[in-house]
Amino acid sequence: MDELGKAALVKAVGQAIASKRAAVGLSQEKVAEMLGISREAVSRMETGVAIPSVVRLAELAEIFGCGIEELLTNASNRKVDQARKIVELLEGLSGANREMLMSVIRQLVGGLTSK
């Protein structure tokens, strides 16, 4: 992975951390308190300035009530991880809405592969 790819990955993990934090209704200050670090350290992780360790990711996952993989999967450009994300998005839709969305996806993919 080149430096640009690494930077994008760190930024995406930071965005996932910020998103999960917001989803559970915690402030950066509260997360910092729970981790025993400064609010600025949480901010640096969320903005991609600082790279959280595996241990820190595990602590964050515990605080947010999610798996570590959720903090990483959203940042991944691997097909299997992206497919899992699509499955999550489809879960709340009715059968008819899923089929409509699949039709749109087929059209988009068809248009993108013909170029």
Q: Averaged in consecutive runs of 10 residues, what is the pLDDT profile of the chain (115 residues)?
A: 83 93 96 97 95 95 93 78 84 92 91 80
Domain range spanning residue 91?
Answer: 78-115
Note the pLDDT of residue 19. Answer: 93
Q: 85 and 113: one domain?
A: yes
Note the pLDDT of residue 65. Answer: 95
Note the pLDDT of residue 99. Answer: 92
Give the span between the Cα atoms of 89 and 16, in whole angstroms.
15
Note the pLDDT of residue 69. Answer: 86
- CATH of residue 4's domain is 1.10.260.40
Q: 61 and 101: one domain?
A: no
Note the pLDDT of residue 68. Answer: 92
Note the pLDDT of residue 115. Answer: 62
